Amino acid sequence: MSAPVSQLRQPLVLGNPPLAQITNDVLVPMETKPSTMWWGTFAVTMTMLVVGFSAIGWQIYEGIGTWGLNKTIGWGFDITNFVFWVGIGHAGTLISAILFLFRQKWRTSINRSAEAMTLFAVMCAALFPLIHMGRPWFGALWFVPSPNFRGPLWTNFRSPLIWDFFAISTYFTISAVFWFIGLIPDLATVRDRCTTPVRRAIYSTLSLGWSGSNKTWVHYETVYMLLAGLSTPLVLSVHTIVSMDFATSVIPGWHTTIFPPYFVAGAIFSGFAMVLTLLIVTRKVLNIEHLITVKHLENMALIITTTGMMVGLAYGTEFLISWYGGNNYEGFTFYNRAFGPMAWSYWIMVSCNVISPQVFWFKKMRTSIPVMFVMSLVVNVGMWFERFVIIVTSLHRDYLPSSWAMYQPTWVEGLTLLGTFGLFFSLFLLFTRVLPVIAIAEVKSIKRFAQPHSAKTEHSAKTEHAAHAAGVPSLAHAPAAPEKGV
């Protein structure tokens, strides 16, 4: 006799709560007054934000000479932070679009927060190309054809700055639309629970007249599926474009075709680590540990392990190519990374990104909340250093020894990085107060997986599998049967 279902499937929602309880668990925290802990955390993040944007204002006033750049190292903290934040923004669309298309039901409790994180991370990333222009108020003139007395002055489409502009703007737009479309059913739920006219008017406008009828759900499912299909290529294309900022150059250490898949794997790696960081804290503070379970966190840890091995393979492949290619300049660049004056940054990168994720091979480690939280922080530290290593150590010793230089970031660059973290966490804290952090409608659609293990017999599992094989539709967002109080 085959193994019982209890040994084959873990519940995605613990405790088998009724539909009304799921709604309350998600919405009550945003309908009540913020706790003292929330206000304290928000005060800290807003302080970081104000300090960081003060530094940005100072460098715009004085010029980018306030950075630690020199004639050899023209990219430093600015592009390092840009690539880092773009990578953080990849996990949201991956969870929402690709896992949705593959019908991975465990995504339903985490996709909303991940999508919000994507938008906030892209906002942080967009700051750095604007600052790097020196005079950002002229940015729009440089991104679009500008009329002048000699006719239109066309944009230089060979500039990586233009590539980044189109990649970021497209990714942000599609991700924002995808995120908002997924919010509509839950916004209608919030609307129906509002007790003040102002809040009701706001959420009524945002919910776009959602009625919950069968026709509405069919149209919703169609639009959501199309947007998921449209968003999926963006996950692969956006960081590919970012990698081409480097790969199309002739700088040793950059001029390589491995960068596009290497950057995409690294972006997913760091993005999932940041989602893990946020959700471990969120589930505890909002008391929704039965909705965001250890199983969700374990699945993310497994993806981190997989992409971490891909990144480690890329590190080794780079050294193999530099040796096998026989190019002296390329070989020296990678030797300098590992054993030069900035080797400390390289070994921090390897330790955090390649060695440390191996603890997740052990189930006890990848189901331990403290271990997962620490590892998520370690991975993000390592991924920041990866971008730093790629950019700075490839530039500081180029073809001519007479132009070799060292890079020392200034306090302006450090505070600017601090300010982006303040912006990111401040926006996420506000998000938890005004919007549902979990997709209520999607969690309700998988409620059948929340049944107690013993209640589901082997016969019911076989029946469900047979229905799926026969093509019986099972919409990811289909509404569950109405229940009093929902």
Residue 470 included in any domain:
no
Number of domains in the chain: 1
Amino acid at 291: L
Tell me the C-alpha distance between 41 and 56, whole Å: 23
pLDDT bin (cut points 50, 70, 90) of residue 427 is very high
Residue 143 included in any domain:
no
Range of the domain at 346: 9-135+156-450
What pLDDT does residue 223 have? 92
Pick from 9-13, 15-19, 147-151, 412-416 the range whose average pLDDT is largest: 412-416
Using a pLDDT cut of 90, give the percent of the chain over it. 33
Provide mean pLDDT across the span 212-216. 88
What pLDDT does residue 166 have? 82
Residue 459 included in any domain:
no
Mean pLDDT score of the chain: 83
DSSP notation for 23-79: HHHHHHHHHSPPPHHHHHHHHHHHHHHHHHHHHHHHHHHH-GGGSS--SS---SHHH
Residue 25 included in any domain:
yes
What pLDDT does residue 466 have? 39
Cα distances (Å, whole numbers) of residue 337 to 215, 331, 467: 59, 10, 56
Q: What are the two backbone dihedrals, phi and then psi, of residue 408, each rounded to the nearest 5 degrees?
A: -130, 105
What contacts 24+ positions apart, CB below 8 Å, involve 227-233?
Answer: 227/97, 227/174, 227/177, 227/178, 227/181, 228/96, 228/97, 228/100, 228/101, 228/178, 229/97, 229/101, 230/174, 231/93, 231/96, 231/97, 231/174, 231/175, 231/178, 232/93, 232/97, 232/98, 232/101
Provide mean pLDDT across the span 139-167. 69
For 405-429, b/e burial (b = at least 16 CB within 10 A) is: eebebbebbebbbbbbbbbbbbbbb
Structure tokens at 71: 């004639």
**What are the residue ranges of helices labelled H in 194-252?**
197-206, 214-247
Residue 314 has pLDDT above 70, yes or no: yes
Q: Which helix (H) or strand (E) holds 146?
A: strand 146-148
pLDDT tens-place string over residues 358-397 = 999 999 999 999 999 999 999 999 999 999 999 998 888 8
SS3 439: coil
Q: Could you tell me the end-to-end alpha-carbon distance of the chain, in angstroms, rounded to an integer?
A: 41
Provide mean pLDDT across the span 272-294. 89
* C-alpha 8 chain-centroid distance: 30
Residue 140 included in any domain:
no
Provide mean pLDDT across the span 294-317. 92
SS3 228: helix
Q: Which helix (H) or strand (E) holds 434?
A: helix 411-434
Residues paired with 151 in a beta bridge? 148
Q: Which helix (H) or strand (E) holds 151?
A: strand 151-153
* Residue 363 half-sphere exposure toward CB, CA atoms < 13 A: 1
- Confirm if 137 and 101 have CB atoms less than 8 A apart: no
pLDDT bin (cut points 50, 70, 90) of residue 187 is very high
Minimum mean pLDDT range among 50-59, 151-160, 248-257, 281-290: 151-160
Cα distances (Å, whole numbers) of residue 94 to 31, 111, 177, 179, 285: 30, 9, 15, 12, 25
Pick from 118-122, 234-238, 471-475 the range whose average pLDDT is largest: 118-122
Report the chain's C-alpha Rg in angstroms.
24
Residue 1 has pLDDT above 70, yes or no: no
What pLDDT does residue 15 have? 76
Residues paired with 152 in a beta bridge? 147
* C-alpha 66 chain-centroid distance: 30
Provide mean pLDDT across the span 288-299. 88
Residue 476 included in any domain:
no
pLDDT tens-place string over residues 467-483 = 333 333 343 444 443 44
Residue 369 included in any domain:
yes
Task: Answer left, alpha or beta for residue 103, where phi above 0 means left and psi between -120 and 50 means alpha.
Answer: left
Residue 148 included in any domain:
no
pLDDT bin (cut points 50, 70, 90) of residue 141 is low
